[in-house]
Amino acid sequence: MRTATHHPLITAPCNLWPGPRPTSSPVLPSGSRRPRRGALVVRAAVVVEQEAKTKISLVRIGTRGSPLALAQAYETRDKLMASHSELAEEGAIDIVIIKTTGDKVLDQPLADIGGKGLFTKEIDEALLEGRIDIAVHSMKDVPTYLPAGTILPCNLPREDVRDAFICLTAKSLAELPAGSVIGTASLRRQSQILYRYPSLKVVNFRGNVQTRLKKLNEGEVQATLLALAGLKRLNMTENVTAILSVEEMLPAIAQGAIGIACRSNDDKMATYIASLNHDDTRLAVACERAFLETLDGSCRTPIAGYAHRDSDGNCVLRCLVASPDGTRVLETSRKGLYALDDMVAMGKDAGKELLSKAGPGFFDW
Alpha carbons 46 and 56: distance in angstroms, whole number: 18
Q: Choose the catalytic residue: 124, 133, 141, 163.
A: 141
Gyration radius (Cα) of the chain, Å: 27
Query: How many CA atoms are closer than 13 Å to the CA of 301, on its beta-carbon side?
Result: 22
Three-state secondary structure along the chain? Answer: CCCHHHCCCCCCCHHHCCCCCCCCCCCCCCCCCCCCHHHHHHHHHHHHHHHHHHCCCCEEEEECCCHHHHHHHHHHHHHHHHHCHHHCCCCCEEEEECCCHHHHCCCCCHHHHCCCCCCCHHHHHHHHCCCCCEEEEEHHHCCCCCCCCEEEEEECCCCCCCEEEEECCCCCHHHCCCCCEEECCCHHHHHHHHHHCCCCEEECCCCCHHHHHHHHHCCCCCEEEEEHHHHHHCCCHHHCCEEECCCCCCCCCCCCCEEEEEECCCHHHHHHHHCCCCHHHHHHHHHHHHHHHHHCCCCCCCEEEEEEECCCCCEEEEEEEECCCCCCEEEEEEEECCCHHHHHHHHHHHHHHHHHHHCCCCCCC
Please list, in sequence order, all residues whose beta carbon lies within 8 angstroms of the beta carbon of residue 322, skipping any fewer than 6 positions away: 188, 191, 192, 195, 302, 303, 304, 328, 329, 330
Indicate if 94 belongs to the active site.
no
Q: Cite the active site residues.
A: 141
